[in-house]
Amino acid sequence: MKFILVGIVYVMMCAAAIGQLVINELDCDTPGIDDMEFLELLSDVPNFPLDGYVVVFFNGSENGGNSSYFTVDLDGYVTDVNGLLLIGSNSVSPVPQFLIPENTIQNGADAVA
């Protein structure tokens, strides 16, 4: 009985861990003009399809009202063999899979979800 219970718990834990997507790195305030800003997403699964995922950037300033100022629809995108997807401008190296205009990501008390 204990063996079956341990097996069920193990399977549930493994199933919960597969396919998680996290914000791995964000650089929104580069020196000078913000031409090398980026957002890096990480999945624990290589070549993870991102259909149904949307990245939302929120304005957290007092006057911003915590409203969304930019969204990225990831339908049709897939992470690379390392489970990474890079969102950024042409100035970022390596070149991002999803390109955004320079100085798109706001500085300050903002949020990304």
pLDDT profile of the chain (113 residues), mean per 10 = 44 56 89 85 96 92 82 96 95 94 84 87
Q: Are 98 and 79 in contact (CB under 8 A)?
A: no
Report the pLDDT value the prediction gives residue 9, as an integer from 0 to 100: 45
Do the domain assignments include residue 7?
no
Report the pLDDT value the prediction gives residue 98, as an integer from 0 to 100: 95
Do the domain assignments include residue 71?
yes
Report the pLDDT value the prediction gives residue 36, as an integer from 0 to 100: 87
Written as six digits, the tokens of 29 are 């305030």
Report the pLDDT value the prediction gives residue 107, as an integer from 0 to 100: 82
Do the domain assignments include residue 29?
yes
Do the domain assignments include residue 80?
yes
Report the pLDDT value the prediction gives residue 92, as an integer from 0 to 100: 93
Do the domain assignments include residue 5?
no
Do the domain assignments include residue 94?
yes
Q: Are 87 and 55 in contact (CB under 8 A)?
A: yes
Which range marks the domain in which residue 39 is found? 20-112
Do the domain assignments include residue 12?
no
* Count of domains observed in the chain: 1
Do the domain assignments include residue 108?
yes
Report the pLDDT value the prediction gives residue 17, as an integer from 0 to 100: 54
